[in-house]
Structures are given as structure tokens and as C-alpha cells.
Structure 1
Amino acid sequence: MGYKKILIAVDNSICSEKAAKIGYDTAKNYDAEVALLNIVEPAPAATTPDFTLAPVFLEVYDNSEENSHILLKEIENKYGKGIKTSYFSVLDTASHGILQQAEDWGADLIVMGTHGRGGLYRFLVGSVAAHVARKSACPVLIVPTKADV
């Protein structure tokens, strides 16, 4: 079985950088294209008295989207080495955004890192990687924080 479309979910962390490297290495081995995905999680909406979004919220989102594009370009420049790459910056929750974008783009494989949090934090908040792995229609490669790359 080969992979032709690899979705790599990244944020601004060490674990996602490791996932990006492994995702691009996998793409090279399978002659696959890559989509880099960064989720911009929505901030709590603040509204004005007439129930329109406050300008502060819109400014924060614009800044987050711009930072997201910069992050994706930096990752491609570092690991891409000529591999065809698409960018997706999506305003959504992490799990839903990854699953939805993988389906929309037709990914054969999702590559993502895990922060490796455990204990009470994982019990209360849950793991994005675990949720994506349970719900995904395609294989999910989860790169642990402790991985040597």
C-alpha cells in the first residue's frame, strides 16, 4: 500500500516539528504530495451590543491566520526539499479540523505529533492525537515527543 497524499498537522511545538520531518520523509519515500495543516483555534467570541463580532476578535483572528501561514512556509522550507506542498490554515477545534481537512483533501495518511501529556490533564482534556486516530477514515501516524529524528 502506498501513500499519495499525506496530511501533516502542525502547531508551533517541538513535537509537531518532529512529525513534520517524519511526514516529509514518508512523502519522499512514497513520492507523495503533502498538505501542511495548522489549526487556528477560535477565541471566545466577544460581541458588541448589536451582536456583531468585536473588532478585537477579528484582529486576533487575522493575526493568527497570518502567523499560521508563516509557520507553514517555514516548515516547508526546512523539510520540503521540492515535495509538492499545499497549505491549510483552518479556524476550528484541533480534532475536528484535522479530521475534516483530511476528508476534504482526500488524505491517505495523517501525520501528527503528540505532546505526551498524561495523567489528570489527559483525563480532563483528552488527547487530540488519540481522538483523531479513533475517528479517522485513513491511517494516522502519531509521532511521540520522545522520538529521535
Structure 2
Amino acid sequence: MNSATEHQVNTGLNRILLCIDSTTSSRRLAAFVRHLATEKTQVHIVGVLENARAVLPLGPLAAFNLSAAHAQLLRAVKAGCLAAHECLTASGASVDSEIIDLVKDGGDAAHALSHEAQKWQADLMVLGSRHHRGLLRWVERAASAPVLKIAGCAILVVPGQCERDWSGRPQRMLFAIDGSPASLEALRIGSKLAAADGLLKAIYVVDRAARVTDFVPLSVLQDAFVEEGKVALEKAREVFAHSRDAGGVMLDAELAETELSGDDVAHAIAREATRWQPDLLVMGTHGRRGVARWMLGSVSGRVAELTQTPLLLVRKDDSR
């Protein structure tokens, strides 16, 4: 469980929006939040009741009873919110909840959650994701991937396949770094979440995959990426040294690589997370489009789809 020392660390994530839908493992999400919460934390639980017609667009053709489906979804969402509330009661945080009914209010889950985060001035949004394939994939992405682009706060995505249970603050944390202000901000904030004796690791992915659009020899590009990576990791060490009283926490840093073909940075990050088994993967994401670097939201969104590790995305608004 959290120690008193860990409770005293100010993470800056004091207003947490916990998002629940009809399929979310609410107790699992709440358990993650419970170990991040302190007596100063406010948790706002939002149950999202999606339109059954949107979730099951072919329902009417199969004589599907939408009213009954809506009532069943409502019961599931209310039960999820209640379970999350009960789980968080012992954390010392201030907890409240509400239901957003998209049948009555209209719109989609992604925009509803983003609007709620902005209205409530959340520091962190916590939500689940599901990695289904085929026809279900485009439906279920509505509650996770688009939110990554339009929410104005940090986001913790907990994959449905994640079977890891925290017994306190994260012991092992993996940071994907590219040297940008967004990734360094992610390191500053994320490192404060670590347990007092945690093990932290930063990686920079050298993209070795050859592409037909490359106009210079691949070896030249790789050498440039390696040098850029070394500089980025050195910046990460400096930021870590100044961002917290590390105590027993150490930051390891190393270069990672993509395969020579048929690979990309997102898959390399997901593979490293599978290999190293962190409690939490942390990345930066930008507030608007900018220079075409590899961590511009598209990579972080793709990692969110691939990984089975809880993923913290820390937003950095480049316009500021």
C-alpha cells in the first residue's frame, strides 16, 4: 500500500476524472486511481451511457428492443459507478459521481468526456480500452482513441487485457522519450508517481526501418537518429535529476531500435513494454500539430491500441 512518504509527494494530478461505461472493469480502474490518490485528491466519477442504437447500429433490423437495451446499459453503468465509488472510499480522496446519458444529451462518448474534463478542469482522465479486432474495433475506439486527441489533460489508459494489480504506487515505470518538450514534461510528471524505491527506465527508439520515401542513405539516417537519441536521453537524465527528490529511485536510460523492415516506433515501444514489464508506460503527447517528429499523437495513439500495459499520456500544448 502507499506509504506516508509517497502520500506527501505532490504529483500535480489532484483532480481525477474516472470514466466508466457499461463494459468497463470499474473496480480495476478505481484500484489504479486509489493508489494515485491522496487526501488532497478530488475524484469525479463519470458514467457514460451510450446510445444503444450507435453501439448496435444493426439492432432495429433484428427486432432489437432499444428501450430494454438502454435500461440494461443504464443498470450496468450505475453498478460500475457504485463499485468504483466503494473502491475509492478508503483512499481519503473526495469522491462524487454523475451519469452522462448520450441518448438524452446526444453526441458521442469521446466529445462528452473531453467536454466534461475541460468543464471540471481535470488534471487526469482515467479510462479503459478494449483491443477487439474486426467490426467491433471501430465502434469501441470511440471511448478511447479519439479522446487522446481532443482532451485537454493527461490521460491514463488501462487496457482491458491488463491483469496487473497495483499494491501501491508504480514500482517499475517505462518512459518513451524523443527529446521534445512533451516527452520531457511526461518524465517530470510521471516520475512523481513512482514508489519511493521504484525503478524507472527511459528509452529512445532509433527508427531503423527503411522506407521508399527516404532520400538519404539509411546508414546516415540511423547515425543521426542514434546521436539524437543520445542527446534526448541525456536531457531526460537532467530533467529527472531536477524534477524530484529521487531518494532511492534511479533512472536507467538506453536506446531501443525498430526492426530493419516492417516495423515502426509504436511497435518497438509496445515490445519493450512487453519485455520489461513495467507497471506503467509513460509518453508525451502534443496539444497541436507541429514539426513531424515521431511522437506527435499518432504514435502515442497507436501505442494505446497495441499495448497491454497501462499507459499515461501527458499533454504538452506547443502553443504555450
- Identify the TM-score tier after normalising by the shorter chain: 0.7 to 0.9
1:45 positional shift: 6.0
Q: What CA distance in whole angstroms lies between the structure 2 residues aligned with 1:88 and 1:137?
A: 22
Q: How many residues align?
A: 132
Q: CA-to-partner distance for each residue in 1:17-42, whole Å, 9 max, x for gaps?
A: 11010122112x45311110111223
Does 2:303 correspond to 1:137? Answer: no
- Residue 98 (structure 1) aligned to one of 259, 266, 269: 269
Describe the SS at the equivalent of 1:144. strand
5+ residue gaps in structure 1?
47-54, 119-124
Which 4+ stretches in 1 moved above 3 angstroms? 43-46
Residue 57 (str. 1) matches residue 218 (str. 2): yes
CA distance in 1, matches of 2:301, 2:211: 28
Q: CA RMSD in A?
A: 2.8
1:70 aligned partner: 231
1:10 maps to which of 164, 170, 177: 177
State the TM-score, normalizing by the size of structure 1.
0.74
Matched, 1:26 2:187: no
The DSSP-based 3-state class of the residue aligned with 1:12 is coil
Q: Look up the equivalent residue of 2:255 and give its one-letter code.
A: S
Larger radius of gyration: 2
After superposition, the C-alpha distances for 1:74-107 in whole angstroms (9 at most, x for unaligned) are 2112214463222231222221111011111111
TM-score, normalised with respect to structure 2: 0.37
Shift, 1:11, TM fit = 0.8
Return the offset for 1:73. Answer: 2.2
How much identity, in percent, do the aligned residues show?
A: 29
CA distance in structure 2 between the partners assigned to 1:116 and 1:98 by the alignment: 21
Greater relative contact order (Cα < 8 A, sep 6+): 1
Q: In the alignment, which of 201, 205, 217 is matched to residue 35 of structure 1?
A: 201
Q: Which runs of 5+ in 2 are unaligned?
A: 1-165, 259-263, 290-295
- The change in CA–CA distance for 1:130 and 1:84 in structure 2 (over 3 A counts) is same
2: distance between equivalents of 1:30 and 1:133? 27
Q: Amino acid of the residue matched to residue 184 of structure 2?
A: E
Please give the residue correspondences for 1:99-138 in structure 2 after superposition, counting only pairs within 5 Å.
Answer: 99-117=270-288, 127-138=298-309
